[in-house]
């Protein structure tokens, strides 16, 4: 494969290069996050900022600005200074009082949020060969075909994702090298003077790393074949314990974190259906949204990495 390249390079160009996926596409058209599931998510973050006395909210990887728009609607006028950070252009129709930047402000006090951002921070993909050597995986961006390249000696692997667990080296075991993600979130948190940083993402722990890695692609709301050709999202779950250790953060499931911020599925009294059918339907819908945000096997399994400064 003459066009085979290290995964990290191909992945970066597919998402962020010239005419890359995230410069060209609306993320909300391709995948659903907690922001799209319910305004409860935005309301919980407003409550977090309010409880900590924080006035500035910086949303890293803001996409279409949906989270900031919802936070604006569920806070008092002028209560929060809202800042979106994304490589994409400012969304059309975004409220004029929401600032839009390409980079995290140099220094600020407030709440830093990265909702499903880390899983799109590109990283090297490696695989154990038949001689128990960890090698970079190369990929042809157009076909997705792979081959093994040079050996990889990143020390992050031995600490956070060893491919010879229990001293047994099985050819074909794979990993995504998370050092780039640790660096990226640490660098973002370093911009925070006083406040709270929250990264929310799908992830795994040292004891439960996926043996074949977790690369996935999505387009138009469906999982499709993995290919870094710019036509689809490319993502991989996050080694959340490594990220948390790097920034001194606390790990919680989204279920736990949202419960602590007052999000709970409270089903309406059936008697309300007779007294006020519209109110009953609305309450039922809201309860369903809370269930989706906190569901086992779904959004409730997301990890929150929370660091305070």
pLDDT digits (tens, 9 = 90+) for 80-115: 999 999 999 999 999 999 999 999 999 999 999 999
User: What secondary structure letter does DSSP report for 79?
Assistant: S
Mean pLDDT for the chain?
Answer: 92
Q: Which two tokens stand for residue 197?
A: 């940083």
| pTM for this prediction | 0.91
Please tell me whether residues 278 and 142 are part of one structural domain.
no
Which carries the bigger pLDDT value, residue 15 or residue 32?
A: 15
pLDDT band at 122 (very low <50, low <70, confident <90, very high): very high
Mean pLDDT of 259-276: 74
Give the pLDDT of residue 272: 65
Pairing mode, if any, of strands 174-176 and 146-151? Answer: unpaired
Output the pLDDT for position 7.
Answer: 98
Instruction: Kindly state whether residue 1 falls inside one of the protein's structural domains.
Output: no
Q: Is the pLDDT of residue 264 over 90?
A: no
First-last CA distance in the chain: 48
Residues 181 and 75 placed together within one structural domain of the fold = yes
Contact 152, 6 (CB under 8 A): no
Helices (H) and strands (E) in the chain, counts: 11, 17
- Say if residue 30 is in the same domain as residue 66: yes
pLDDT at 204: 98
Task: Give the pLDDT confidence of 19-51 residue by residue, as tens digits.
Answer: 899 999 888 778 788 888 788 999 999 999 999
Query: How does pLDDT run across 202-225, given as a tens digit for each residue?
Result: 999 999 999 999 999 999 989 999
pLDDT attached to residue 3: 84
pLDDT of residue 2 exceeding 80: no
Question: How far apart are the C-alpha atoms of 237 and 253, rounded to whole Å?
Answer: 14
What pLDDT sits at residue 279? Answer: 59
**Residues of the domain holding 165:** 124-175
* Section 251-280 average pLDDT: 79
Does pLDDT of 294 surpass 80? yes
Q: Return the pLDDT at 267.
A: 64
* Residue 294 contacts residue 265 (beta carbons within 8 Å): yes
Residue 26 belongs to some domain of the structure: yes
Structural domain ending residue among the three candidates 175, 203, 236: 175
Q: Which residue has the tokens 């949906």?
A: 66
pLDDT tens per residue across span 149-192: 999 999 999 999 999 766 678 999 999 999 999 999 999 999 99
- Are 95 and 167 in a shared domain? no
Strand ranges inside the chain, DSSP E:
5-6, 56-60, 81-85, 99-101, 108-115, 125-128, 134-139, 146-151, 174-176, 192-201, 203-204, 216-219, 222-224, 233-235, 238-239, 250-253, 303-308
Confidence class of residue 269 from pLDDT cuts 50, 70 and 90?
low
- Which residues neighbour 13 within 8 Å (Cβ) at sequence distance 6 or greater? 20, 141, 228, 230
229: alpha, beta or left? (left if phi > 0; alpha if psi -120 to 50): alpha
pLDDT band at 297 (very low <50, low <70, confident <90, very high): confident
Counted domains in the chain: 3
Question: In terms of domains, do 137 and 284 share one?
Answer: no
> Given this model, what pLDDT does residue 30 score?
81
The per-residue pLDDT for 296 is 82
In a domain, 90, yes or no: yes
Both 150 and 209 in one domain: the answer is: no
């Amino acid at each position: 494969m003459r066009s085979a390249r290290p995964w990290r390079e191909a992945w970066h160009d597919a998402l962020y290069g010239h005419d890359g996926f995230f410069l060209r596409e609306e993320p909300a058209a391709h995948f659903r996050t907690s922001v799209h599931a319910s305004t409860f998510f935005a309301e919980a973050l407003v409550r977090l900022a309010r409880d900590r006395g924080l006035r500035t909210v910086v949303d890293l990887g803001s996409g279409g600005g949906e989270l900031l728009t919802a936070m604006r609607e569920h806070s008092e006028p002028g209560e929060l200074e809202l800042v979106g950070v994304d490589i994409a252009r400012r969304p059309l129709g975004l409220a004029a009082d929401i600032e839009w930047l390409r980079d995290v402000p140099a220094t600020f006090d407030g709440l830093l949020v990265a909702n499903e951002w880390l899983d799109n921070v590109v990283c090297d993909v490696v695989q154990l060969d038949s001689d128990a050597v960890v090698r970079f995986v190369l990929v042809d961006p157009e076909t997705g075909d792979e081959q093994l390249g040079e050996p990889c000696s990143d020390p992050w692997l031995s600490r956070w994702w060893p491919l010879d667990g229990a001293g047994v080296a099985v050819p074909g075991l794979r990993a995504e090298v998370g050092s780039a993600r640790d660096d990226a979130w640490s660098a973002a948190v370093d911009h925070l003077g006083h406040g709270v940083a929250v990264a929310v993402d799908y992830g795994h722990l040292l004891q439960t790393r996926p043996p074949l890695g977790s690369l996935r692609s999505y387009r138009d709301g469906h999982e499709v074949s993995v290919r870094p050709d710019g036509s689809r999202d490319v993502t991989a779950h996050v080694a959340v314990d490594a990220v948390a250790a790097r920034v001194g953060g606390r790990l919680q499931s989204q279920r736990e974190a949202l419960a602590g911020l007052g999000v709970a599925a409270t089903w309406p009294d059936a008697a309300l259906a007779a007294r006020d059918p519209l109110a009953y339907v609305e309450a039922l819908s809201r309860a369903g949204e809370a269930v989706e945000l906190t569901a086992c096997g779904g959004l409730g399994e997301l990890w929150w990495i929370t660091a305070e400064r």
